[in-house]
């Protein structure tokens, strides 16, 4: 372990279905030494895969084919290695991974060992776009950096407070109990982070706030209802397939359609699952790309692009209305992640004609938004509409550090 004057450097690895974010944070102070993101990883898109890599404020962008997440991580580690040769402070002492779906095995951060790996392997089918990727990267790190500790932080932990009436499916009770089926909820690390940042920004106590958080990413997206600092519902369900229209995932769908297609096409369950997770959503409707940013570029001249955009927006609005009903109006509406912070057009369409829910956007503030936390609500809006960049990596590092010092109190600085 490193000496106290140097701190503990944690390399956070955060995989999305088509992205890989990484940061080296010096804990416990939280200074960011390295950060980067690989986008359009292993997907069909109009633009080439790209890695944005920032070291001590110096940014470089590399366009390179990234066939999968292992290729993205390999390239990131290669760049970190180059940086380390120039600056001895650029190093990492432990890995911390975001893990999407642990089933009911884990509800708190854990250190990776043989037992944890065995249990994680059983969860691979639960989130087929994420869990196998993350599991392979954990194995990759274990093989390449055998002496480096690894911690896993779970995306679902925040949603363990969802009440039974929202977490229970209308299925036979014996089946539900046998297979431990319930709404799990996802993007919990992000929803928790932006909730806390929004309340800090507005100088409000989270225990008194009703919040709707929209985590809108280029891969997965979800909406979360939060009351008193606790998750009360999430648009994703037992798996990340439920909810919004996403890049390659269908989101909510009539189960009868699934059975009908299986019958007509003689698809196996595995083939059907692959269609719902990897060939549907934006890609299924638009076909030319699974990236909503490409859809927005084309929607004024392409009918299917316009259709895909409208479907995406309408699904988000439906969940906003549902969660406003649950909360009896929201005090705060948050937009976060790559699409939530990066697309003023998307925010404008989602919030259009929502004044009956107390939501009103200031068009000029929305268009002018560039970075950081910003209030883009109109003066007469009952609900504060905020853009809040998420920082899942910081929260993952904090959780891993807490677990590290509980394992080894001598690491406390």
Catalytic residues: 155
* Residue (of 325, 387, 335, 388) closest to 357 by Cα position: 325
Buried b or exposed e, range 152-167, using 16+ CB within 10 angstroms: bbbbbbbbbebeeebb
Q: What is the spatial distance between Cα 174 and Cα 178, in angstroms, rounded to a whole number?
A: 6
CB-CB contact of 281 with 216 (8 Å):
no
Identify whether the C-beta of residue 335 lies closer than 8 Å to the C-beta of residue 213. no
Report yes or no: 131 and 97 within 8 Å, Cβ to Cβ. no
Question: Which residues are within 8 A (CB) of 65 and not within 5 positions of it... i.e. 6 or more apart?
Answer: 48, 49, 71
Task: Please name which of 236, 245, 214 lies closest in space to residue 311, comparing C-alpha atoms.
Answer: 245
Three-state DSSP class for residue 16? coil
The pair of three-digit structure tokens given for residue 365, joined into one six-digit string? 């503030």
- Cα(189)–Cα(193) distance, rounded to whole angstroms? 6
CA separation for the pair 182, 257 (Å, rounded): 22
Residue 377 has what DSSP assignment? B
């Amino acid at each position: 372990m490193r000496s106290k004057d140097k701190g503990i450097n944690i390399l956070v690895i955060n995989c999305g279905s088509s992205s890989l974010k990484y940061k080296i944070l010096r804990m416990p102070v939280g200074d960011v030494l390295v950060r980067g993101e690989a986008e359009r990883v292993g997907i069909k898109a109009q633009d080439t895969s790209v890695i944005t890599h920032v070291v001590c404020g110096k940014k470089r962008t590399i366009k390179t084919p990234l066939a999968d997440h292992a290729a993205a991580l390999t390239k990131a580690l290669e760049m970190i290695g180059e940086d380390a040769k120039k600056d001895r402070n650029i190093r990492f002492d432990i890995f911390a991974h975001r893990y999407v779906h642990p089933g009911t095995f884990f509800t708190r951060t854990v250190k990776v060992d043989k037992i944890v790996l065995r249990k994680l392997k059983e969860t691979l089918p639960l989130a087929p776009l994420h869990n196998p990727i993350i599991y392979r990267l954990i194995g990759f790190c274990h093989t390449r950096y055998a002496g480096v500790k690894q911690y896993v932080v779970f995306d679902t932990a925040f949603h363990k407070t969802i009440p039974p009436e929202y977490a229970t499916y209308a299925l036979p009770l014996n089946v539900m109990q046998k297979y431990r089926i319930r709404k799990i909820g996802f993007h919990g690390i992000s929803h928790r982070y932006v909730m806390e940042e929004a309340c800090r920004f507005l100088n409000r106590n989270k225990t008194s706030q009703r919040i709707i958080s929209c985590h809108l990413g280029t891969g997965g997206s979800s909406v979360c209802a939060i009351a008193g600092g606790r998750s009360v519902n999430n648009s994703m369900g037992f798996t990340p397939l439920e909810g919004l229209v996403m890049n390659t995932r269908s989101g909510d769908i009539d189960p009868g359609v699934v059975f009908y297609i299986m019958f007509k096409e003689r698809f196996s369950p595995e083939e059907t699952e692959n269609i719902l997770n990897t060939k549907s959503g934006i890609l299924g409707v638009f076909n030319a790309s699974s990236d909503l940013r490409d859809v927005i570029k084309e929607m004024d001249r392409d009918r299917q692009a316009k259709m895909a955009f409208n479907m995406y927006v309408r699904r988000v609005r439906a969940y906003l209305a549902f969660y406003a009903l649950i909360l009896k109006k929201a005090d705060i509406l948050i937009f976060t992640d790559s699409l939530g912070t990066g697309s003023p057009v998307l925010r404008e369409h989602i919030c259009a004609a929502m004044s009956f829910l107390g939501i009103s956007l200031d068009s000029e503030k929305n268009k002018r938004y560039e970075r950081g936390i910003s209030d883009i609500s109109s003066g007469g809006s009952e609900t504060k509409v905020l853009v809040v960049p998420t920082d899942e990596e910081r929260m993952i590092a904090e959780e891993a550090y807490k677990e590290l010092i509980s394992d080894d109190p001598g690491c406390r600085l």
